[in-house]
């Protein structure tokens, strides 16, 4: 059963409640979708798994309902945000550090003290940051590096991450790394310390609201790759999977790694420029694969007739996606649910029915299809247009709908 349900659009909903306010990130699942899935299918659940957890939307919503959660993601910044959004941080202790940071910032702004700072060695740092901004960011980083409490340190790091991005010369309306125009750069004068303070204050409000729910559940966030294996989780131990997998490889859809790169570099993540290559479809297959999905095989043939190289790129993504689903399926209990929120992207004029492909992949693992709910995407932060032909200047609409695919293990 597949049907449109406009009540799932959540057009007027506040998507930044609780710790969901912490950090912008591309193509985030909105909390209202995760919450309604859990209400409908997770009433008796004790353990949730999100194999592509991003910044942890489903983990937060699970914890709010008293459900323990496990998530994994290959992007270090996403894992950091997800860990922090689900951490039970003492407000009393946090407030002490916030006061210290306020005093530290005040003394630097009004030159009551001078900080001995070292600007990190980041490739092309002068291309992306003004010299004065570099020094101020280094001052903030110096403060954070002295915080010994891991949860408090992470709380400051994710505020710092957004501050890095918003004080850089990047076009913040883009996910990929593009520098703003020379004219805008001349006028650009970010208030680095005030940016950091505003992020900390916003996140403090979100944390306070989250802690007031007094839930006892907790989350664990790991970095294993479900394409290869599922670690730390026993087979048939998961009650429900709630997740929103990537729409395609990062190079041609949402560039998670590029979006995160500058922040990851300032946070000392090694090989920060390689994140996109490690994600689903990042490594190319040599030949178009033979999949357990008639719908996918038919569309790959049509794309291949137009462009064999693009067919191989699409095949690479779905090859990894199929392997991941095979591994995820083994973790789910008999009678448990796999709930995948997917988008159907367009390549070479062909709309790839990822909802049907997801259904086929799970049915091959012994799952039955319960329903697919189609929702509009009024408030998901993602590109509205892309270049499906890869011809410069020719744009087309990207996804305007999401498909909530509900599968149940027999």
Q: So what's the pLDDT on residue 399?
A: 67
Q: What domains lie within the chain, and their CATH numbers?
A: 2-86+218-409 (3.40.50.150), 91-211 (no CATH)
Please tell me the distance from the alpha carbon of residue 371 to that of residue 15, in angstroms, as a whole number.
25
Please tell me the distance from the alpha carbon of residue 345 to that of residue 192, in angstroms, as a whole number.
38
Q: Is the pTM of this model over 0.85?
A: yes
Pairing of strands 47-50, 68-72: parallel
Please tell me the distance from the alpha carbon of residue 178 to that of residue 169, in angstroms, as a whole number.
8
Q: So what's the pLDDT on residue 398?
A: 53
Cβ-proximal residues to 392 (8 Å cutoff; 6+ apart), any chain:
none
Longest Cα pair distance anywhere in the chain, in angstroms? Answer: 69
Q: Is 50 in contact with 58 (CB distance < 8 Å)?
A: yes
Nearest alpha-carbon partner for 144 in 167, 168, 166, 164 = 164
Q: So what's the pLDDT on residue 379?
A: 57
Written as tens digits, the pLDDT of the chain (410 aa) is 999 999 999 999 999 999 999 999 998 999 999 999 999 999 999 999 999 999 999 999 999 999 999 999 999 999 999 999 999 999 999 999 999 999 999 998 887 666 678 899 998 999 999 999 999 999 999 999 999 999 999 999 999 999 999 999 999 877 788 999 999 999 999 999 999 999 999 999 999 999 999 889 999 999 999 999 999 999 999 999 999 999 887 666 677 888 899 999 999 998 888 887 877 877 777 777 789 899 999 999 999 999 998 999 999 999 999 999 999 999 999 999 999 999 999 999 999 999 999 999 999 999 999 999 999 987 555 444 444 444 444 444 556 899 999 999 99
Cβ-proximal residues to 324 (8 Å cutoff; 6+ apart), any chain:
51, 226, 227, 245, 280
């Amino acid at each position: 059963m597949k049907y449109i349900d406009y009540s799932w659009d959540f057009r007027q909903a506040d998507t930044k409640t609780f710790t969901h306010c912490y950090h912008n990130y591309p193509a985030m699942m909105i909390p209202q979708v995760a919450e309604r899935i859990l209400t409908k299918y997770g009433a008796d659940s004790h353990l949730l798994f999100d194999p592509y957890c991003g910044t942890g939307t489903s983990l937060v919503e699970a914890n709010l309902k008293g459900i323990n959660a496990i998530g994994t993601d290959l992007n270090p910044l996403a894992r950091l945000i997800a860990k922090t959004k689900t951490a039970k941080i003492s407000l009393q202790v946090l407030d002490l550090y916030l006061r210290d940071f306020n005093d530290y910032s005040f003394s630097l702004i009004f030159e009551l003290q001078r900080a001995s700072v070292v600007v990190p060695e980041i490739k092309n740092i002068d291309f992306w940051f003004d010299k004065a901004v570099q020094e101020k960011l280094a001052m903030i980083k110096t403060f954070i590096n002295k915080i010994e409490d891991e949860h408090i340190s992470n709380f400051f790091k994710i505020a710092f991450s957004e501050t890095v991005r918003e004080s850089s010369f990047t076009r913040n309306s883009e996910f990929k790394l593009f520098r703003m125009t020379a004219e805008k750069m001349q006028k650009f004068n970010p208030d680095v310390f005030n940016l950091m303070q505003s992020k900390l204050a916003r996140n403090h409000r979100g944390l306070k609201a989250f802690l007031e729910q007094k839930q006892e559940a907790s989350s664990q966030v790991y970095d294993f790759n479900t394409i290869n294996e599922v670690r730390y989780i026993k087979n048939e131990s998961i009650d429900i999977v709630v997740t929103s997998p990537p729409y395609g490889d990062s190079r041609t859809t949402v560039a998670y790694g590029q979006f995160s790169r500058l922040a990851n570099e300032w946070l000392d993540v090694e090989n920060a420029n390689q994140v996109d290559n490690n994600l689903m479809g990042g490594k190319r297959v040599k030949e178009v694969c033979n999949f357990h999905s008639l719908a996918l095989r038919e569309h790959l043939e049509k794309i291949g007739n137009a462009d064999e190289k693009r067919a191989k790129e699409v095949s690479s993504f779905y090859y990894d996606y199929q392997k991941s689903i095979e591994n995820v399926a083994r973790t789910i209990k008999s009678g448990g649910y796999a709930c995948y929120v997917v988008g159907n992207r367009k390549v070479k004029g062909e709309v790839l029915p990822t909802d049907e492909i997801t259904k086929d992949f799970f049915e091959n693992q012994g799952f039955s299809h319960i329903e697919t709910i189609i929702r509009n995407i009024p408030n998901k932060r993602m590109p509205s247009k892309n270049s499906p032909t890869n011809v410069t200047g020719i744009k087309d609409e990207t996804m305007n709908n999401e498909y909530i695919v509900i599968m149940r293990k027999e």
